[in-house]
Amino acid sequence: MNGLAWLQNIWHQGKQRFNPHSLQFQLTVGIALVSAVGISSLTAVIAWQLDRLIVTSHKRQVASLAKRVMETVEIYSQMMPTPAAMEKAIAHLTTGDILIWIESPDGEVVAMSEALAMGNWERKVLEIADQGVSPTPQMYAINQGYWLLCGNTLEIQQQDWGTVYLAYDMTGDQRMFYRLIGMLGGVSVVAIGGMTIAIAYYIQTALKPLQQMRQQTAALSAEQLGKEALALTNAPSELHQLETAFNQMLKRFHESWEQQRQFVSNVSHELRTPLTLVCGYLQSTLRRGQNLSEPQQEALSIAASEAKRTVQMLEDLLELARAENRHLHFRQEPLLLNDFVVEVVDMAKQYSQRTIEFKPEQSLVEVIADRDRLKQVLLNLIDNAVKYSEPEQPITIIVEQDSNRGIIKVCDRGFGIPLAQQSRIFERFYRLDDARCRTTGGIGLGLSLVQTLVAGMDGTVSVRSQLGEGSTFIVTLPSLDS
């Protein structure tokens, strides 16, 4: 199992590093491809020029030797008969790489190098010559070898004695050239690989400021807009300009956020008192409304219910505003969760008319918390579970102890929360389903208030949920021992 987890971790890291859509991958591959094309093209040009230089040099050497053969034959012919002069000149100029022979005008070979006379495989060059060769040396592939052949008219004392042929074996030079090209290609591949690694490292280093920017922006929250600012290290001037513009934007966001919070706080405060009076008058009228008709009583009942809901919303907004302005005070005290949760469950059963099961820890769980704030948290979570589960499904409250933390779990068997939305349900005014929230009366403040209150008691709140199986909200608080 550990081996499988290790392989999965390696695979995940590889996918992140070699993500084809990442800027680092695209820049590395692009520059590496351009470098590879450039080095390959340079290698090809060098190989072509070198091959051309070798062949041209040998062609000049063969042409010069062919001319020298004719001059030598003419010199020897002044001292001996012409056929003997031909043999003498050929024997004098033939080497291991050079074959020379002379054909008479009627096509008969009258003189040749010893290798040809011995009938070695080089006689195949005679077959090529019989098909006609150019006076200018040309390359031919013979028996997996490479030969330069040329044929020139032999005139001695202005008399045509036939054609002198010269063949030069450049197989060794060509094979050495191909080995050199192979080595050059290998060096090019190593150079391309080394450049790719160097380019990848350089680009990774160059993109580190962007990674810093991503990490810092990911850690920002609405409460930190006015306190935090991007600070990039070892970044180019363009990214410093982006850093400055981004920090200015954060400042404007912070100012706008502060104005919005102040507006919400002021409006909530100004509306709470008159709405509370309206709610009181409506309830008083309902209690003394014996002379009212049934439609009038129903209308007043709806108005009183909506007024009460609006007052509760304003109370929640004011609580959040106090917490953000650090005006919300907590009276932390030792609290025995086993007894406290029983009290809250009994209270919740009275107003919800639902089955609420309590599963306490066998041992006593004592935490440090604010009694009133914790009661508000649990009632909010129970109310949330009641709203988003079927009436016949029970709500379960679990109390546990985990090292130096006390844990309270509120479990329902309701609709569940999609995984993509679980990270947002604690945001203010965020609602999963507007249609469902209208029927349940939720406005998206309850869980945000829960998170604020729990954080004020040095605790945490989280959720585990699966569609169709329900949700579990987990509140952890510091224990008395910690």
Q: Where in 215-355 does DSSP place strands (E)?
A: 333-336
Model pLDDT, residue 435? 45
Give the Cβ contact number of residue 344 at 10 Å: 22
Range with lowest mean pLDDT among 39-43, 265-269, 306-310: 265-269
Dihedral of alpha carbons 78, 81, 82, 86, sign = negative
More confident residue, 186 or 130: 186
More confident residue, 255 or 371: 371
What's the mean pLDDT in 199-214?
A: 81
Sheet holding 405-411, edge to edge: 356-359, 395-402, 405-411, 470-478, 460-466
More confident residue, 216 or 271: 216
* Phi, psi dihedrals of residue 396, rounded to the nearest 5°: -115, 130
Q: What b/e string do you get for 158-170 counting C-beta neighbours within 10 Å, with b at 16 or more?
A: eeebbbbbbbbbb
395-402 and 460-466: which strand pairing?
A: unpaired
Model pLDDT, residue 461? 92
Range with lowest mean pLDDT among 48-62, 157-171, 224-238: 224-238
What's the mean pLDDT in 185-197?
A: 87
Two structure tokens written together for 124: 């195949």
Q: How far apart are CA 334 and CA 352, in angstroms?
A: 28
Model pLDDT, residue 73? 86
Cα separation values, 40 from 37, 44, 54, 193, 346, Å: 5, 6, 21, 13, 81
Residue 334 CA neighbour count, 13 Å, CB half: 6
pLDDT cut 70: percent of the chain above it: 84
More confident residue, 76 or 445: 76
Contact 357, 395 (CB under 8 A): yes
| pLDDT band (50, 70, 90) for residue 15 | low
Residue labelled with tokens 């045509």: 160
Model pLDDT, residue 441? 53
More confident residue, 129 or 27: 27
Give the Cβ contact number of residue 478 at 10 Å: 16
Q: Is 441 left (phi over 0), alpha (psi -120 to 50) or beta?
A: left
Model pLDDT, residue 136? 87
Largest CA distance in the chain: 158
Model pLDDT, residue 476? 93
Residues 371-394 have pLDDT tens digits of 888 988 998 899 888 888 888 888
Domains of the chain with CATH codes: 16-206 (3.30.450.20), 237-324 (1.10.287.130), 333-478 (3.30.565.10)
User: Residue 267 pLDDT more than 70?
Assistant: no
pLDDT cut 90: percent of the chain above it: 6
Q: How far apart are CA 108 and CA 105, in angstroms?
A: 7
User: Residue 1 pLDDT more than 50?
Assistant: no
User: Residue 431 pLDDT more than 80?
Assistant: no
Residues 40-95 have pLDDT tens digits of 888 888 888 888 888 888 889 888 888 888 888 888 888 888 888 888 888 888 88
What's the mean pLDDT in 273-278?
A: 75
| pLDDT band (50, 70, 90) for residue 460 | very high
Average pLDDT of every residue of the chain: 80
